[in-house]
Every structure is written in C-alpha cells, then in structure tokens.
Amino acid sequence: MFSLQVQFIFSLLILTQVSCRLSTDHENRHNWYEKNRLKVKCLQRDDPTGRNAVKLCWFWEGTKSWFRRTSISWFPERTKTWNLTELTAHCNNYYVCMENTKCYKDYVLYETLDRCSHDAFNVGPMSFCNQKLKEIKKSSPEKLSNCTMEYLEEKPPKRWTCESVKRLGDCLYPEVEKYCDSKLLPIFKDHQESRLYYLGCDGRLKFKDFEEPTNSTIPKL
C-alpha cells in the first residue's frame, strides 16, 4: 500500500515538476542552450545536430536526475548506508549523456558533475549533520568554529573554486568528526576528494577550456 501511494505521489510530482521545469525555473529552462557552456563548433547555425543532442539530454537525463535528487531529499534516511557511487549515480548518468553530445566544454561537464554530487551529498547523508550543526548553533554556538558559523549562515556560492572547496572541506571535517554520525565520515572524505578531482584541483584533470570564475561569483568561504 505504501509503495502504491508513493508511486501515485511521484507520478503527480513528475507531472507538476516537468511542467514547472518547463515554465518557471529560469535557470534550468535556459541551461541547455546557455552559450558559454557549449563548444563554439556546436553553436554554428547550419548544423543543429549537437544542439539537438544537448536539448534531448537536458530534457530526459536532466528530468531523471532531478527526479532522483527529489527522492533523495524526501527520503534522506535511505542514503545513510549508500556509498558515493550509489548516491551520485544520477549525476554520472547526466554527465555521460552530456559528454556524448561532444558539445559541452570539459570544465563545464565536470563542474556540473561536482554541483550535482555536492547537492546530492547535502540533501542526502549530510543533511543530518547539517541539522545537528544547526541545533548546536542554536544551543551553544561558541562550540562551532567561525567558518562553520559562516557555512550555516551563508548561501553556497554560485561557482566553486579549488580554494573554496578546500576551505569548506577543511573547515567542516573536524565538526563532522566531533558532532555527526561516525558513518558519515568515510563518505565525507570520498566526497571531498571527488570534488577536488572534478574541479581539477588535484592535478589529475587538466582543462584546456577552463574559464576563471569572475570576481562576482567567487565565494568568500
């Protein structure tokens, strides 16, 4: 019975969200043709093949990915036993689809992967830790480091840099160790490591087409 209800709710959700994605979500709606995310060769007028592939990918895989993300955020409890591969499978599927279009700039592909998996991590297993840290902030804020207070108070940046990812990881690690479920620590480490990899910070990836973030998008944290 439970699963039937869930299915029903989810069908409703798909309908509302698909229409929502199409009509109101400004950022999502424009993502597939945001020109600075695509390689120049795919923007030429006479050959729409690449652009069509991008559009399809954005629509189908993007919707599936969004759907998965929503189910994680609704039932984060389930993710407590997952490893990073399981947690971010939808991000990888989206990445593969985008890569196959051969139209996205490399650093954009990886940056998107980072954003998606960081988001899944935060709405999934990390959500319990964030909750805990917020409670501590209310009851005894002096226990938390300044950077953790900032993390809890400020919105995440639009674009991450190697420095901001490192700073946040180093900042939160001791707090996670002290206050959160000990099972979170291994996936926290894996996640941090994969972030540094995706953003080309550990030297394994080199992006020929990398574009420096502009000052307005560089985060403080």
Ligand X SMILES: *[C@@H]1O[C@H](CO)[C@@H](O)[C@H](O)[C@H]1NC(C)=O
Q: Should residue 81 be labelled a site residue for ligand X when binding is judged by CB under 6 A?
A: no
CB of 190 to ligand X, least distance (A): 8
CB of 169 to ligand X, least distance (A): 18
Task: Single out the segment in contact with ligand X by CB under 6 A; choices: 3-11, 67-75, 83-91, 110-118.
Answer: 83-91
Of the candidates 217, 32, 202, the residue with the CA atom closest to the CA atom of residue 112: 32
Residue 2 Cα distances to 80, 86, 121, 150, angstroms: 21, 24, 26, 40
CB of 97 to ligand X, least distance (A): 21
DSSP assignment of 20-89, as one string?
HHHHT-HHHHHHTT-GGGB-GGGG-TT--HHHHHHHHHHHHHHHHHHHHHHHHHH-GGGGGG--HHHHTH
CB of 74 to ligand X, least distance (A): 21
Q: Do 132 and 155 form a contact (C-beta atoms < 8 A)? A: no
Beta carbon nearer to ligand X, 34 or 86: 86
**In one letter, which amino acid is 134?**
K
Which x/- pattern, by CB under 6 A, does the window 28-67 give for ligand X?
----------------------------------------
Question: What is the footprint of ligand X within residues 202-221 (CB under 6 A)?
Answer: 214-215
Helix, strand, coil content of the chain in percent (nearest 5): 75, 0, 25
Q: Should residue 83 be labelled a site residue for ligand X when binding is judged by CB under 6 A?
A: yes
Q: Should residue 154 be labelled a site residue for ligand X when binding is judged by CB under 6 A?
A: no
Q: Which of 85, 100, 131, 217 binds ligand X (CB under 6 A)?
A: 85
- The pair of three-digit structure tokens given for residue 87, joined into one six-digit string: 């947690």
Q: Which positions touch ligand X (CB under 6 A)?
A: 83, 85-86, 146, 214-215
